[in-house]
A and B are shown apart, each in its own frame.
Chain A
Amino acid sequence: MPGATAIAAAVEDAVAQAAVTLRPDVLSALRRAYDSEPSARGRAVLGQLLENAEIAARDRVPLCQDTGTVWVWVELGADECAPVGLQAEIDRAVARAYSDNGLRMSVVRDALFDRGNTGDNTPAFLDVTLRRGSGATVHVMLKGGGSDNASVVAMLDPSAGADGVVEIVERTVEAKASGACPPLIVGVGVGGTFDSVAKLAKRALLLPLDERSLDPRVRAFEERLLGVVNATGVGPAGLGGVTTALGVRVISAPCHIAALPAAVNLGCCAMRSVTLEVV
């Protein structure tokens, strides 16, 4: 049975690994973009990002100085008991990982009333859900502020349909991408409720870029969105070009008869996430 200590240990390993290692699917996508980007300035930017990934892995230094807030999603097997003390154990693991690996402390105590730094990058932002079976699947993302700031939730009318969602994605990218460190990974959530649609968008960022959805409707929609995003001209680093995004992934869900919730969570070019299984 995966206890809090084992899950926290997985989080600690994941933080250390994610901070210095670019996700393999993102690295491959960057290489492909470097070969195909027609903008000379865009290619220079992509070349710099590829060199950055090499230096980070070689010297074990963070890919980005913004080592993020720690988002942890534990999918717990429904056959398991809920682990006791999970948040506290994970927070201790995050504090250790940030201190031991020379990562940046980027969390303030309160958004409005006390912007003093917590000093250990806690609390972790923890989400626990149930899935079938035993064990636990632990997803850890180090999410940069620049790209999270450039994200939106929109409660559309059902009549807005797919075009409405496309418009939200396009507008978000055009208005905000340059501060979100493109080429982006665009996570799109559709459905659920006001609060859960944002989680869908964040979870979409975990989906590998070199894998396609099994649902042909989702696959077609992702391709349409990628086309729209890469026609904005924003380009690498926002300095013009074709590669505004390396990929767009979509997760949809049931929702109220009156609703069409949509969320766009932008992921940066130094997308850092790791998924580990704990048995």
Chain B
Amino acid sequence: MPTKATRISLPASVGELAALAAGDRVLLSGTVFTARDATHERIVAELERTGRLPFGLAGQTLFYAGPTPRAAGRPVGSLGPTTARRMDAWTPALLAAGITATIGKGARSAAARDACIATGAVYFAAVGGSAALLATHVRSAETVAWPELGTEALVRMELEDFPAFVAIDAEGHDLYAIAPAEWKARL
């Protein structure tokens, strides 16, 4: 560890994600939707109103991120993960409604981990503080909804070989709990 990275195509079904284990290095390619706090509030309001996810989000991946504007000939200047824990209040409902994967940073609540186990969803961790590098793996960005939210708008992005780690797998193994404990025991 970390040896070879596994290439993952997004959106991915829970069947495809089941093979991943916490700690695996992955390269993500395909479609993701950016959603931060304000976006989550609106998606969940739509879900409660209509009984289903808006904008074809069922089966898709949410990336907890708010980019900087286009720069250096790229669709976004910088793009990195925000703290996943802040989304945990909404996450069980969103996973139950069909979100199959999330991308963020940092440890999550027990409720979010249990929701991964219950639905087969996976949580990927990207490296916070490496947003200039991560933006070079974004091929396109198109605002889908709520442009008035600025950086918190719902944006569909196409990623190519975006580097991440499996932080919580479909069985609920949590890299943020396992890895620091292993190292603490050694130190």
Question: Which of A's residues lie within 8 Å of B, judged by CB?
Answer: 39-41, 44-45, 48-49, 51-53, 55-56, 59-67, 102-106, 115, 117, 119, 145-146, 149, 178-181, 230-242, 268-270
Contact = CB atoms under 8 A, between A and B. Distances in A.
Contacts of B83: 145-146, 149, 179
Interface in B138-187: 149-152, 163, 165, 167, 175-176, 178-187
A238 B68 contact: no
B150 A64 contact: no
A26 B1 CA distance: 27
B183 A39 contact: yes
Interface in B63-111: 65-72, 74, 76-80, 82-85, 105-107
B127 interface: yes
B176 A178 contact: yes
Given A238-B176, A239-B179, 13 more contacts: A39-B179, A41-B23, A56-B78, A61-B68, A62-B78, A103-B68, A117-B149, A149-B83, A178-B105, A181-B105, A233-B179, A233-B187, A268-B129
Contacts, number: 178
B132 interface: yes
A279 B167 CA distance: 50
Nearest to B133: A52
Interface of B: 1-2, 23, 25, 38, 65-72, 74, 76-80, 82-85, 105-107, 125, 127-136, 149-152, 163, 165, 167, 175-176, 178-187
A117 B150 contact: yes
A69 to B, nearest CB: 14
Contacts of B127: 45, 48-49, 236-237
A178 B182 contact: no
B78 A41 contact: no
Q: By CB atoms of chain A within 10 A, which of B68, B69, B132, B186 has the most?
A: B132
Contact of A242 (B132, B175, B183): B183
A201 to B, nearest CB: 20
A52 B130 contact: yes
Q: By CB atoms of chain B within 10 A, which of A61, A180, A234 has the most?
A: A61
Nearest to A45: B127
Contacts of B152: 117
A76 to B, nearest CB: 32
A239 B184 contact: no
**Nearest 8 interchain pairs by C-beta:** A240-B179, A233-B183, A233-B184, A179-B106, A181-B128, A179-B83, A56-B132, A59-B72
